[in-house]
Chain A
Amino acid sequence: MNYPQDRRYTPEHEWISVTAGVGTMGITDFAQRELGDMVLVDLPKVGMRLEAHQSIGTIESVKAVSDVYSPVSGEVIEINEELGKAPEKLNQDPHGAAWLIKIKVSSPVELEKLMTSDQYEDYIQQKGAH
Chain B
Amino acid sequence: MKRTALNQIHHNLKAKLVEFGGWEMPVEFSGLSQEHVNVRTRAGIFDVSHMGEIFVFGPDATRFLQKVFSIDPAKIKLGQIRYSGLMTDQGTFVDDLLCHRFSDNSYFMCVNASNSDKDYAWMKERSAGFNCTVEDRSPQYSQIALQGPFSESILRPYTNVDLTKIKYYWFTEGEVMGEKAILSRTGYTGEDGFEIYVRWDAGPAVFERLLEDNIGCGLLPTGLGARDTLRLEAKMALYGHEIDDTTTPLEADLEWIVSWDKGPFDGRDIIAAQKQRGLTRKLVGFEMIDRGIARQGYPIVKDGQQVGAVTSGTHSPWFKKAIGLGYVPIGMSPVGTEIEIAIREKPCKAKIVETPFYSRKKK
Show the binding face of A for B, using Cβ within 8 Å.
36-37, 39-40, 58, 60-63, 65, 130
Q: How far is the CA of A130 from the CA of B17 in the complex (A)?
A: 10
Nearest Cβ distance between residue A89 and chain B, in whole angstroms?
15
Q: Which stretch in B24-32, B143-151, B167-175 binds the other chain?
A: B24-32
Main SS at interface, chain B = mixed
Q: Is the interface on chain B under 10, 10 to 19, 20 to 34, or 35 or more residues?
A: 20 to 34
Q: CA A107 – CA B227 in complex, angstroms?
A: 47
Task: Report whether A62 and B295 are in contact in the complex, using a CB–CB cutoff of 8 Å.
Answer: no
| Residues of chain A with a CB closer than 8 A to B293's CB | 39-40, 60, 65
Q: Does B291 contact A (CB under 8 A)?
A: yes
Tell me the minimal C-beta distance from B304 to chain A in angstroms. Answer: 22
Report how far A99 CA is from B315 CA in the complex, Å: 23
Chain B residues near A58: list those with CB within 8 A.
344
Contact of B14 with A62 in the complex, beta carbons under 8 Å: no
- For B31, the closest partner residue in chain A by CB is A37
How does the 8 Å CB contact mask read for B207-243 relative to A, with 1 for contact and 0 for none? Answer: 0000000000000000001001100000000000000
Instruction: Please judge, given known A-B contacts A36-B225, A37-B32, whether A62 and B315 are in contact too, CB under 8 Å.
Output: yes
Whether B344 pairs with A40 at a CB distance below 8 angstroms is no
Inter-chain contacts of A39 with B (CB < 8 A): 293, 315
Contact with A along B291-317 (1 / 0, CB 8 A): 111010000000000000000001101
Tell me which residues from 243 to 265 in chain B have a Cβ below 8 Å from any Cβ of chain A.
Answer: none
Q: Which residues of B contact A63 (CB under 8 A)?
A: 27, 32, 225, 228-229, 314
Residues of A within 8 A of B33 (CB): 37, 62
Q: Is the CB of A40 within 8 A of B292?
A: yes
CA distance A114 to B15 in the complex (A): 31
- Residues of chain B lying within 8 A (CB to CB) of residue A61: 32
Tell whether B16 is near chain A: CB-to-CB under 8 Å.
yes
Additional pairs, 18, CB under 8 Å, beyond known A62-B36, A62-B315, A63-B228: A36-B16, A36-B28, A36-B31, A36-B32, A37-B32, A37-B34, A37-B317, A39-B293, A39-B315, A40-B315, A60-B315, A62-B32, A62-B33, A62-B314, A63-B27, A63-B32, A130-B14, A130-B16
**What 3 A-B pairs come out closest when comparing CB atoms?**
A39-B315, A37-B33, A62-B32
| Contact (Cβ within 8 A) B291 A40 | yes
- A97 nearest CB across to chain B (Å): 19
Q: Hey, which chain B residues are within 8 Å of A62, CB to CB?
A: 32-33, 36, 225, 229, 314-315, 317
Distance in Å from the Cβ of B323 to the closest Cβ of chain A?
11
Contact partners of A37 in chain B: CB under 8 A: 31-34, 317
Contacts of A36 in B (CB 8 A): 16, 28, 31-32, 225
Which of A37, A61, A65 is packed against the most chain B CB atoms within 10 Å?
A: A37
**Can you name 25 A-B residue pairings with CB atoms under 8 Å?**
A36-B16, A36-B32, A36-B225, A37-B32, A37-B33, A37-B34, A37-B317, A39-B293, A39-B315, A40-B291, A40-B293, A40-B315, A61-B32, A62-B32, A62-B33, A62-B225, A62-B229, A62-B314, A62-B315, A63-B27, A63-B32, A63-B225, A63-B228, A65-B293, A130-B14
* CB-CB nearest in chain A for B229: A62
Q: Which residue of B lies closest to A87 (CB)?
A: B315
A65–B298 alpha-carbon span in the complex (Å): 12
Q: Which residues of B contact A60 (CB under 8 A)?
A: 293, 315
How long is the Cα–Cα vector from A57 to B317 in the complex, in angstroms? 23
* Nearest-neighbor residue (CB-CB) of B226 within chain A: A62
Name the distance in Å between B314's Cβ and chain A's nearest Cβ: 6
Closest Cβ neighbor of A67 among chain B residues? B344
Bound Cα distance from A65 to B295, whole angstroms? 9
Residue on A nearest B320 in the bound complex, by CB: A39
